């Protein structure tokens, strides 16, 4: 029995070393250092040596402590997608795992399960999973219109294209939640539009439509920390009417005059 445990520990150590070589954990933070530190502590509980990259556009940056952490300070309030671009630009591994700064690793957060799928299906570019058992995903559907009205690109939530062969918990989709493993080179080809500062997520997958093959798997999970109200954070995070109009105008031109979510 003791020899079996020793052998299992050895195998687990080899797996962890392989993950450290292949994967970087990346996140973007703004003002939420308490949540960020909880995230880092949870990562270190399960992956004590994996590299962590933090893009930070906080108003008054604080020091982020810990080994093998790269903390990149940005000009204040540059926004969500600018931070993602910075974080991904510094990744040197084949894959990166994207997480929000208020997530929390659990015993069900298995990076090796992501990597196994990506290595077995090399056509895949992104594999998303579940946050607190919520497997958020969507399919993009385009309906052509006339010359005057244009077409319509819509998100259809909780709808898949088809099952991913050999992986019963996974399906092919067009977009996933902010918890995903991605091929670094594939995401860099698409990039994140820095014009989108406050509320943006689906836009990345719209930009990647036809470029990225995406799957969602319900058997890999991460936790979400309890919500804490941050007045200043909420002020910046909440999309104002002017922001919404600017975003829609940007969509109108950026997506070849398609009308989105009509």
Please give the sequence-ordered ranges of beta strands (E in DSSP) within the chain, or none if there are none: 23-29, 51-56, 69-73, 95-98, 103-104, 126-131, 137-143, 152-157, 162-164, 167-173, 175-176, 180-183, 214-224, 259-260
Q: What is the pLDDT of residue 170?
A: 98
The predicted pLDDT at position 1 comes to 58
pLDDT in tens, 52-73: 999 999 999 999 999 999 999 9
Q: Is the pLDDT of residue 30 over 50?
A: yes
**pLDDT classification of 250: cutoffs 50, 70, 90:** low
Any idea what the CATH number is for the domain that residue 88 is in?
3.90.550.60
Q: Report whether 248 contacts 50 (CB < 8 A).
A: no
In the chain, the percentage of residues whose pLDDT exceeds 90 is: 69
> What is the dihedral sign for C-alpha 117, 120, 121, 125?
positive
Domain that holds residue 120: 2-260
What confidence category does residue 256 fall into, taking pLDDT thresholds of 50, 70 and 90? Answer: low
What's the whole-number average pLDDT of the chain? Answer: 88
* Paired strand residues for 171: 163, 216
Q: Would you state the pLDDT for residue 222?
A: 98
- CB of 137 within 8 A of CB of 202? no
pLDDT bin (cut points 50, 70, 90) of residue 199 is low
Write the pLDDT tens digit of every residue in 130-171: 999 999 999 999 888 776 666 788 899 999 999 999 999 999
pTM of the full predicted structure?
Answer: 0.88
Q: How far is CA 228 from the centre of its chain?
A: 21
Total domains in the chain come to 1
């Amino acid at each position: 029995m003791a020899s079996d445990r020793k052998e299992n520990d050895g195998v687990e150590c080899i797996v962890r070393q392989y993950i450290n070589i292949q994967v970087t954990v990346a996140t973007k933070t703004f003002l939420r250092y308490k949540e960020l530190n909880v995230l880092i502590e949870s990562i270190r509980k399960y992956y004590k040596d994996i590299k962590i990259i933090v893009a930070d556009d906080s108003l008054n940056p604080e020091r982020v402590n810990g080994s093998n952490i790269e903390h990149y300070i940005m000009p204040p309030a540059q926004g969500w997608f600018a931070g993602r671009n910075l974080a991904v630009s510094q990744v040197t591994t084949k894959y990166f795992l994207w997480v929000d700064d208020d997530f929390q690793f659990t015993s069900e957060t298995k990076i090796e399960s992501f990597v196994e799928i990506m290595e077995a299906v090399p056509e895949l570019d992104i594999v998303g999973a579940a946050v607190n058992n919520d497997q958020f995903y969507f399919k993009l559907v385009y309906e052509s219109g006339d010359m005057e009205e244009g077409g319509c690109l819509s998100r259809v939530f909780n709808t898949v294209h088809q099952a991913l062969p050999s992986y019963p918990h996974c399906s092919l989709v067009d977009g996933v939640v902010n918890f995903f493993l991605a091929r670094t080179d594939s995401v860099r080809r698409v990039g994140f539009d820095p014009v989108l500062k406050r509320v943006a997520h689906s836009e990345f997958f719209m930009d990647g439509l036809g470029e990225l093959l995406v799957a969602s798997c319900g058997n890999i999970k991460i936790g979400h920390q309890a919500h804490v109200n941050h007045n200043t954070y909420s002020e910046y995070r909440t999309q104002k009417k002017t922001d919404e109009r600017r975003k829609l105008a940007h969509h109108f031109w950026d997506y070849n005059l398609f009308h989105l979510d009509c």
